[in-house]
Structure formats: structure tokens, C-alpha cells
Amino acid sequence: MHIVMVASEFAPLAKVGGLADVVGGLSNELARQGHQVDVIIPRYKSLSLDPVLAWQQRIDRLTVPFFDRTVDARVFETQLRGCPATLRIFALEPIEESHLFDRDQLYGYPDDGTRFAWLSRAAMELIALWDQPPDIIHCHDWQTGLVPVLLYEAFQAQLARTRAVITLHNLHHQGVMGDDILHQVHLDPRRLKTPDRLLHPHGELNNLLKGGIVYANAITTVSRTYAHEIRTTEHGCGLQHTLNIHRDKLRGILNGIDTTVWNPSHDPVLSHPYSADAIEGKYENKRVLRERLGLADRFAPIVAVISRLDAQKGCHLMHHALRSSLGHNAQFALLGVAPDPRIGDEFRRLQDDIADHPDAHIELAFDDELAHLMYAGAEILVVPSRFEPCGLTQMIALAYGTVPVVRRTGGLGETVFDANHSGKPFDEVNGFTFDDDNEAGLDSALLRAIGLWHKHPEYFRKLQLNGIRTDRSWARPAREYIEIYTSLTSDS
Ligand code: ADP
């Protein structure tokens, strides 16, 4: 099968969060299972170059309509080192408006709508040039929500047999824009801005994610629980009605993790690799982590947080996790970046409060290497999210024998099974969960985890081993995606 991914992130080249891991991990696995996978992303200034073979310029000038003129694209192609040759990456660079992706950050600019609408149109122009149209175009989140709309409104002549899939990674961001964005890509707002198409549920604007939901042939989201929550609760962020209309197309598929990247037995960041059979190696990494963060060497577990610092992630409870850890004979380490400056200021104040504390460290940066070391060196990872479509950090923690403490929402409740309350067999429990979104709720789980580490180390070890031994690779989810792709292409 020939699958094209169109996305704004792709690990390991361009990453802000889990979207990158999912597009990277799924594409890689589909290619390993023998499918042709082409990934189309913008040529960001910050694309990381290490993991790729040399870029080849494939097209000097791809015509891309842009209002009443064109903003053409240079098309570059490469492959990832160590990945199957059936995985190709295309990076699109706007020639006339080169500033669109020549920026320090991937997102957060007033013209993000223009930037990703251009990507969507340019991707479709590229695909339409190919002699063999792909079977599937798979797009992700609002940034590429216009792709299914363009497929059915503008590219039927060239791509009549191609089907579109959209994955909803987070309903919180929907791309709500004025008519200009449709004019830019040569779509007609008079036709499209209707309640059953792109009209935002409140007000007069267009909703690009809704467009993707309405026009895609299949909709997936990243856990079964979230698939249910977005239709039936406020987690649908206003799109509950649209999702209910299109519910027959909607399916929840729990993400995997890329076990070639997240694997403590061959993680190049770790000076002391380890596995379930030799978990002692984990404690060498704890020593390295303490040195790196300036934490005292003493008999206490390390409680970690690795997260975007966003209201969604339960920042108020992260502050409390720090206090509770220090008050109950544990150390605390946080790695995170706050896109919102007000939240950033709060964490900077907290950082000042604990400066030089021998048992706590806060690192306000995006640092992939430190993240690897923290998953390996910590014993407990706290994920206190208000909502969490799937969540990858708890799954990575499990793979590294780090016991997750999570709020039971979305995918967190499908991956973490409470040591005391889940009713699961002894071999399947792997962490601690809580329901109430408040400090008492968090303590009800975190203090059990810290207490177990101190008082019943052999049982704590059992939780760690249960976590490491579970298969959470992309093999199973990739097969579920293939089932969906196959069902779409067999009825055409
Ligand atoms: P989201 O996509 O909502 O941010 P996920 O749990 O799905 O959350 O994915 C988060 C991914 O980003 C994980 O791979 C995690 O390790 C990584 N990550 C988050 N914050 C940082 C950071 N400050 N530095 C390095 N990696 C980070």
C-alpha cells in the first residue's frame, strides 16, 4: 500500500511534542511492514540534520496557488539513517515567502494559519504530480485539516481513488480562521462555510479541524477513551455534535512508542544500558542523573516530570508534586517548556525558590538527551493531566522501568494500571492512578508510590518489571491503521 503522511511534526526531525513521535513511529513501522510511506513536512529552519542522509533537491519549482498569485515550493527528499528505504521524507520550502518556515519555533506565530494552509496546498500539488496516486493520504491535527477538504474539493480529477484519513491528536487546537485562509488555497468560503462543513460551532469563522473531520473518509484518535470523551464530554471542545454526526468514521487507536528510539537496552544517550533482566543498570543512570542535575546522593527515589508546561498538563499539581516529594523523603526533577509566558514565569519563580536545593531541580528547556536520562534515572514519573488524548511520557516511563503516577483520563487510564485498585492480575499492574483533579487526589497516588519504594522495594521492583516487559511497540497499532486503510481502499 502507498501511504502519504502530511504533518507539521515528524520525529526525529521536527518535534514539539507527541505528534512528532506518533507520525515518526507510525511511519517507520508501516515502512517496516513493507508499505511505501512518504512523509511531507515543511522545511523548517530548525530541521535536525543528524538523523538523515543527504537531502536531494527533487523539484526546483512546484507551483502552489496563493490568493491571486503563487508561492512556489522547492521540494527536497531524504531518508532516515537506519530506516527502511520505503520511508521517504519530503520537505517543502516556499520560494517567494521564504520567511514562512525560516523561524526559530515550529508554532506560535500570528500567521500559523497561512503557513500550514500553504503546506496543505503544496502537499496536494506535489502528490497530484506523481504518476501513481497514493492509496491513502493521512493528515494530522488542524494544521493539515484542509488536506481532506482539498482532496474532495480541488483534486478529484487527479486523485479520484485516493482516500483521506485524519488523526486527532488534541481537540484543544482547532485552527479557527477567517475566510482569507480559504481564499489563499483557492477554496470557496461561500460553499464551505456552512454548519455541516467548516463553519465553527460558535461565531462566523472557519474551523480547519472540523473541515478535516467532515471530509476525511476515516477519523482516528489516539485512544479509545479519548474517542468516547470527545463525543460525549467537554473534551470535544465544541465539536461533539460534528463528531457524533461522523461517529461511524471515528475510531480510537492507542499509540505505540518507537522502540528503536525508546529502549533502555540500546539507548545511545545512556552510558549504562539496562533491561528487565539486568535492571541494576538503571541505578547507574540514577547516579549520572544526580550528577547532571546537582542532586544529593542519598537513599530516596527520584520523582520526575517531563512535560509541556501547559494548563492541559496539570501544572498546579506539578508544583504540589514537588512539595509532596520533598515532604516525604523523595527527590524531584522537572524538565519542561512553557509556551505561555505566564506559566513560564510561575515555573521560573519555583525554580528560584529551590535554587541549589540538594533534593530538587527544575530545568526549563526542551532537551531530548536529558529527557532520555531522566526516564532512565528516575524511579517515578508524575503525569497529572487535566485531559490526555493518549500520553506518551507514561508509556516511555514504563519502558524504562520508571513507575508512572497518572491522573486516570484519556489514554493514561488505558496504559497505567493501579497497583492496588485496578483489579488487574499481579503481572499486569504497573503504576498508580488517581481521579480527582486536586492535591489530595495526586497525593492519594504519589504517596503510595513513594511509600512502596521505601517500605516494599521488592513489590516496587515488580511494578518496574511489569512495565518494561509489556510490548507497546507500534507493531499492533500499525496493523490497526492498515485495517482502516484497507477498508477504505477496498470499497473504492
Ligand atoms: P504532548 O504531545 O501533549 O506534549 P505526549 O505525552 O503525547 O504529550 O508527548 C510528549 C513527548 O515530548 C514525549 O516524547 C516527551 O518525552 C517529550 N517532551 C516533553 N517535554 C519535553 C522537554 N522539555 N524536553 C524533551 N522532551 C520533551
Q: Whose CA is nearest to atom 14 of ligand 1?
A: 18
The backbone torsions φ and ψ at residue 229, rounded to the nearest 5 degrees and listed phi first, read: -60, -40
pLDDT digits (tens, 9 = 90+) for 372-406: 999 999 999 999 999 999 999 999 999 999 999 99
Mean pLDDT of 128-133: 97
* Residues paired with residue 42 on neighbouring β-strands, in sequence order: 92
Q: In ligand 1, which atom is closest to the CA atom of 394? A: 6
Contact between residue 45 and residue 101 where contact means Cβ atoms under 8 Å apart: yes
Report CA dihedral (413, 417, 420, 424) to the nearest 10 degrees.
Answer: 120
pLDDT digits (tens, 9 = 90+) for 146-167: 999 999 999 999 999 999 999 9
Ligand 1 centre to CA of 392 (Å) is 7
pLDDT digits (tens, 9 = 90+) for 276-321: 999 999 999 999 999 999 999 999 999 999 999 999 999 999 999 9
Residue 54: the pLDDT is 87
Taking every pair of Cα atoms in the chain, the longest distance, rounded to a whole number of angstroms, is: 70
Residue 17: the pLDDT is 87
Q: Whose CA is nearest to atom 15 of ligand 1?
A: 393
| Average pLDDT value for the chain | 96
Alpha-carbon distance of 282 to 170, in angstroms, equals: 33
Q: In ligand 1, which atom is closest to the CA atom of 393? A: 6
Q: Whose CA is nearest to atom 2 of ligand 1?
A: 18
Q: Which three cell numbers stand for residue 411?
A: 489514554
Residue 475: the pLDDT is 96
Residue 402: the pLDDT is 98
Ligand 1 centre to CA of 488 (Å) is 32
Contact between residue 277 and residue 309 where contact means Cβ atoms under 8 Å apart: no
Q: Whose CA is nearest to atom 26 of ligand 1?
A: 368
Q: In ligand 1, which atom is closest to the CA atom of 19? A: 2
Asked whether the predicted pLDDT for residue 40 surpasses 60, the reply is yes
Mean pLDDT of 120-126: 98
Name the nearest CA neighbour of 90 among 175, 156, 27: 27
From start to end of 353-437, where are the E strands? Answer: 360-363, 380-383, 403-407, 432-434
pLDDT digits (tens, 9 = 90+) for 56-109: 999 999 999 999 999 999 999 999 988 899 999 999 999 999 999 999 999 999
Q: Which three cell numbers stand for residue 392?
A: 506518551
Ligand 1 centre to CA of 455 (Å) is 31
Residue 490: the pLDDT is 86
Instruction: List all residues 6 or more positions away from 280 whose beta carbon is below 8 Å from its beta carbon.
Output: 274
Mean pLDDT of 8-21: 94
Ligand 1 centre to CA of 307 (Å) is 5
Residue 284: the pLDDT is 97
Chain-centroid distance, C-alpha 186: 30
pLDDT > 90: what percent of the chain? 96
Chain-centroid distance, C-alpha 110: 22
Q: State the number of CA atoms in the 13 A half-sphere of 334 facing the CB.
A: 28
Cβ–ligand 1 contact at 383 (below 6 Å): no
Cβ–ligand 1 contact at 366 (below 6 Å): yes
Report CA dihedral (186, 192, 198, 199) to the nearest 10 degrees.
Answer: 120
Asked whether the predicted pLDDT for residue 491 surpasses 70, the reply is no
Q: How confident is the model at residue 356 (pLDDT cuts 50, 70, 90)?
A: very high
SS3 465: helix
Mean pLDDT of 7-36: 95
Q: Which three cell numbers stand for residue 461?
A: 521492583
Mean pLDDT of 225-241: 97
Neighbouring C-beta atoms of residue 2, cutoff 10 Å:
18
Name the nearest CA neighbour of 76 among 42, 116, 114: 42
Residue 492: the pLDDT is 54
Q: How confident is the model at residue 244 (pLDDT cuts 50, 70, 90)?
A: very high
Residue 82: the pLDDT is 87
Mean pLDDT of 440-465: 98
Q: Whose CA is nearest to atom 24 of ligand 1?
A: 366
For the chain, first and last CA: distance in Å? Answer: 14
Mean pLDDT of 467-491: 95
Q: How confident is the model at residue 24 (pLDDT cuts 50, 70, 90)?
A: very high
Asked whether the predicted pLDDT for residue 360 surpasses 60, the reply is yes
Q: Whose CA is nearest to atom 12 of ligand 1?
A: 17
Cβ–ligand 1 contact at 308 (below 6 Å): yes
Cβ–ligand 1 contact at 336 (below 6 Å): yes
Alpha-carbon distance of 432 to 416, in angstroms, equals: 7
